[in-house]
Copies of this chain bind each other. A is one copy, B any other.
């Protein structure tokens, strides 16, 4: 694709670097911006650059934050600070927050133990999690990691490290998705959902 202007070409290739955006989509986005006022596009560029430059990570849980502590860690009145939900990344925090079902705090690992990808415990925020649990006298650690081998390995590793502490360790339930169909569920999921069956009262509440 030959473009008639170098400025256009540069803008298109910047957009095309983003994940899931090819050159054709990038061109469509750039031509859209070209139709907007200069101020609007200026503001677009500045907002993105400012975000990257000024955003901080919460010193306690590594969540994204405008400050040294994120809004969840600061909210000592409304949220149980002794319950920590361990997640892989910030997207998981946003997903769980949008359910409005969790009133504890988070700890973002920044990844998951995966020897095949060369990611070991040292590259993750595991040490700070262990320190937090001791220092803050955490009562429960809830693991909300993706249900795969890497996730299970990470849980196993951290649980072993926690051996001496008295805090409760839980994981999110695994089973048949709401709206899912039994006949299409994989054997592993179905087997787990039978092994971990719940009394009806608990299920309904």
Contact = CB atoms under 8 A, between A and B. Distances in A.
Interface stretch (A66-74, A164-172, A182-190, A192-200): A66-74
Contact of A91 (B20, B31, B71): B31
Contact of A41 (B25, B48, B94): B48
A109 to B, nearest CB: 15
A13 B50 CA distance: 14
A135 interface: no
Interface in A24-51: 25, 27-34, 36, 38, 41-51
B3 A94 contact: yes
Contacts of A176: none
B32 A64 contact: no
A93 to B, nearest CB: 7
A153 interface: no
Contacts of A63: 4
This chain: how many copies in the complex?
2
A42 B51 contact: no
Contacts of A29: 18-19, 21
Interface of A: 1-8, 10-11, 14-15, 17-21, 25, 27-34, 36, 38, 41-55, 63-66, 70-72, 89-91, 93-94, 97-98
B31 A1 contact: no
A84 B15 CA distance: 32
Contact of A5 (B5, B45, B55): B55
Contacts of A28: 19-20, 91
A32 B19 contact: yes
A27 B94 contact: yes
B14 A47 contact: yes
A148 to B, nearest CB: 20
B7 A54 contact: yes
